[in-house]
Structure 1
């Protein structure tokens, strides 16, 4: 297995796949709404975000979407991990950890001061993020009507 940047055709396919797994990735907090999903991810890609893919025998096992953090409050030297997804047959094999470790190391080498991500409550990937070195800095709370 190796990690590389996705090519253009893969990026287009991953973009559409990403919006179809939003409900699973968000622990049910978001719906698989392609229009809303594309509205969130296309601007990030247009601003320089990209996908890393984990590949084995020409098959994509999972992906990570990353780029420069565009939130001006965080400063100009922060990276952001928009999405991490590993296809179910390849989970618990270290694919997600390899994708995360690769992205973090690239951002470190490129001189970023920090890298951030959002994770929904109940997402089992949070334990992996913490083992890599991420920690909580805020909590989003919600009240539904």
Structure 2
């Protein structure tokens, strides 16, 4: 059900990049989302994994790793999670996130981190899986 993304999958993911970026960042990020995605893949040694059946992809997750800036430890990083609108409310986001947690456990990591914008409904999923706020980025427009 979950597999590493093929080149064909990556093209489909890239075609959805602008929509994903808009939804995930609630409109905060601009630029070329396709370049941002693939820059993240390279910077974080990321790999996409997709969920679906033989006919279609229902969603995907981008997994990477990063050193913690305040400790000498490499942690797993969920860089992107997306479920196509027609497949939402079927548990695919939770399945992908559980896959990520298990993936990092098998690699011997002790922590998994992710970044989520305030107001993103996916935060409820992350909370339900035991993720906790570590820091808060605040902003004021001037």
TM-score (norm 2): 0.87
- Quote the Cα distance in structure 1 between the aligned partners of 2:47 and 2:29: 22
Contact 1:66/1:79 (8 A) holds in 2:
yes
Matched, 1:45 2:64: no
Q: Of residues 121, 124, 130 in structure 2, which corresponds to 1:124? A: 121
Task: Tell me how large the CA RMSD over aligned residues is.
Answer: 1.9
Contact 1:11/1:50 (8 A) holds in 2:
no
What is the count of residue pairs matched by the alignment? 141
Q: 1:76 to 1:18 in 2, by over 3 A?
A: farther
2:77 maps to what in 1? 80
SS at match of 1:63: strand
| Pairing 1:81-120 to 2, within 5 Å after superposition | 81-120=78-117
- Quote the Cα distance in structure 2 between the aligned partners of 1:84 and 1:9: 18
After TM superposition, the runs of 4+ consecutive aligned structure 1 residues lying more than 6 A away are none
1:24 maps to what in 2? 23
Q: Give, in angstroms, the shift of residue 25 of structure 1.
A: 1.5
Contact 1:82/1:118 (8 A) holds in 2:
yes
Q: 1:46 to 1:102 in 2, by over 3 A?
A: same
Q: 1:113 to 1:15 in 2, by over 3 A?
A: farther
- Quote the Cα distance in structure 2 between the aligned partners of 1:108 and 1:98: 15
TM-score (norm 1): 0.86
Gaps of 5+ in 1: none
